[in-house]
Chain A
């Protein structure tokens, strides 16, 4: 028995020694954490987002040897879209690797809210691309939070401009009724103030219809729509709520081309269960759908062809995949900027913050990356972390099974939105004793 124990001990020691001596010292890497939800009720949306991100970073590692010759290490932490777990993930990952966490993508508005004070204190930037706290667009109050290329408030104003155009002019909105069907959470409530302010200006009536998590049952909500007879329905949904809403809208024969979802309600997942009935459904977007881009070809060549893809190749180019990829593009560009600004490859989160703040994406930049025509150019500044806010409308073509852009890039109502952002940011600063930065 004693001999057996000794033998096991010796074998264990040998294995341990081998693992220590054989494993080479790892080179300096850029650690980019990802708060992902590949499980739980929102997994169908979380998976393509996470896949798009990691595939792009893997492509950079394979094709270019990383960013400026430094490999990118993506570390995923599973959150199941749970805010408490997400915060634990943040705490566990913030000091991971030589570089520490360079930038966090929370993938949840609620989590973004929770991380704002922590990330600011830890000097790690948060990239909440097209979600999160809209007033974080004010970089003087939120130096570490970025929500470019556009925000919920900008999107809401773009929707109003779009329907104004469809109705034949903004003056025609007077007397119209708009219903907002929204996820009853911090995320879903984001556009309400903007829509109320714009309602006062343009004279439309706003009808608010909250839907509780997860949104599997919405008959009463859509009976309200039937009862209220709105001219337009906007939806701020996520997960199963989107699929059920589109199906219920079809069930009451609400015209799909007057039903517009937020960009988180406009993926292939959302329209599939409704089948033909979803034809004509509209959704906001910040980028083009599809896979006809050189960057996606590169992902297929350097990642999928080698059997290293995160998901199924047939799903590369779907809306949420492209959005995850776009997050990776901006993260990589910001890291590159940080290296150029600070003249060293060994950077930390605070340096990437500078890189994010100096981000300017021109048409030439998108062409260089392999995303020509993918989205509208924008520029982030110290003061403006939203970077412009262009929004387009895409429409679901059920026959061909694809999203098609049906509008030009719509400029949001910047004068109104910026005023609201400033007001909200100032209130936050006062509440939290923050002295706004001077961006000069």
Chain B
């Protein structure tokens, strides 16, 4: 009986008794969800355009953030900080585009029309290569990333909200809007979707597979840069940043691998759910269930809706 009370009733009593904490949990959960979504977005982009699950997306975020902070350090104090930040961001975007071209030329092009599992394995290898290159080029130290984002806390009637999280939410919202327009309203966007549906059919109507892959990997690289900046500003840029990809997996399962809005909604559900369960069901589980809960939720979704909330419906014809 006590167990049932602790499981089914007590958490809601706590929520009612501690409305400020509950409000803060909801806000922080949603904010964390936005950060998960930022990582998940990169996965969705590449999956949408190529059907490949890009295992290296987390490492792309690390690599982009490492490049940005590394370039800023290299430039020293000779220029005004704003100029350093702008130059470093532009240069990093350039590096990510170059990387996309290298990936297309040396990883993807030789594997056209191969099984998707082979492409997946290639991204696994790419992840290790990028980690190594990042390590060798910029070192393994914790690097403080300061591009001038606000670092304080808003106190809204006793509810603390980190300013950086608010910025992340605004950035993620803007990115989703831009990407949605890009995919649905532009010629390149439609070409990307065509390539995702069928490589050979897209080729037959004159779409350049190579060009599309470079574009999509470049865009994914820029999304990775944003994710890397947001996460790196919180914890410093370091190797463990690549592990944030693990946070994106349940988000993708929930939102669907092919839906940009799905990545956002999935992130918000995971973020909110894991925080509320961790905080208000603490007496039942004793803590450290954030990761477990996200995957558990994803598992439940897989059982009842394998394509996720917004994913393309899976139709198998015999």
Contacts and interface: CB of A to CB of B under 8 A. Distances in A.
A211 B140 contact: no
A219 B275 contact: yes
Contacts of A52: none
Contacts of B28: 219, 223
B275 A212 contact: no
A210 B32 contact: no
B243 A220 contact: no
Which size bracket describes the interface of A in this complex? Answer: 35 or more
A221 B244 CA distance: 17
B140 A38 contact: yes
B21 A243 contact: no
Nearest to B131: A39
B240 A272 contact: no
Contacts of A117: none
A39 B287 contact: no
Contact of B235 (A208, A220, A224, A247): A247
B236 A219 contact: no
B250 interface: no
Contact of B288 (A212, A214, A252, A269): A212
Contact of B239 (A39, A273, A277): A39
B141 interface: yes
A50 to B, nearest CB: 11
A306 interface: no
Contacts of A269: 141-142, 236
Give the dominant DSSP class at B's interface.
helix
B177 interface: no
A430 interface: no
B73 interface: no
Contacts of B286: 208, 210
A47 interface: yes
Contact of B279 (A40, A217, A220): A220
B29 A273 contact: no
Given A44-B142, A214-B240, A220-B278, A273 B235 contact: yes
Contact of A220 (B140, B162, B234, B275): B275
Interface string A20-53: 0000000000000000001111011001000000
Contacts of A272: 142, 144, 236
Given A212-B290, A243-B142, A41 B160 contact: no
B160 A44 contact: no
Nearest to B231: A216
B237 to A, nearest CB: 9
Contact of A223 (B25, B142, B243): B25
Contacts of B146: 275
Given A223-B275, A269-B141, A40 B231 contact: no
A40 B140 CA distance: 8
Contacts of B21: 223, 226-227
Interface string B278-296: 1100100011101100000
A224 B275 CA distance: 10
A253 interface: yes
A184 interface: yes
B160 A253 contact: yes
Contact of A244 (B24, B29, B144, B234): B234
A239 B240 CA distance: 9
B104 interface: no
A202 B216 CA distance: 61
Nearest to B35: A217
B104 to A, nearest CB: 27
B99 to A, nearest CB: 20
B48 interface: no
B236 A273 contact: yes
A394 to B, nearest CB: 19
A266 B119 CA distance: 43
A126 interface: no
A209 interface: yes
B140 A216 contact: no
A43 B140 contact: yes
A211 B21 CA distance: 20
A251 interface: yes
A223 B24 contact: yes
A240 interface: yes
A220 B290 contact: yes
B287 A210 contact: yes
A252 B140 contact: no
- Kindly list the 8 A-B residue pairs having the minimum CB-CB distance in the complex, ordered from nearest: A220-B278, A273-B236, A43-B140, A210-B288, A41-B240, A240-B240, A214-B240, A44-B142
Interface of B: 18, 21, 24-25, 28-29, 31-32, 131, 135, 140-142, 144, 146, 151, 153, 160, 162, 231, 234-236, 238-241, 243-244, 247, 274-275, 278-279, 282, 286-288, 290-291
30 contacts: A38-B140, A39-B140, A41-B239, A41-B243, A44-B141, A44-B142, A184-B288, A210-B288, A216-B231, A216-B243, A216-B244, A216-B247, A219-B28, A220-B278, A223-B21, A224-B278, A224-B279, A227-B21, A240-B236, A240-B240, A244-B234, A247-B234, A250-B153, A251-B160, A269-B141, A269-B142, A272-B142, A272-B144, A273-B144, A273-B235
Given A216-B240, A251-B153, A273-B234, 4 more contacts: A39-B140, A209-B287, A217-B247, A247-B234
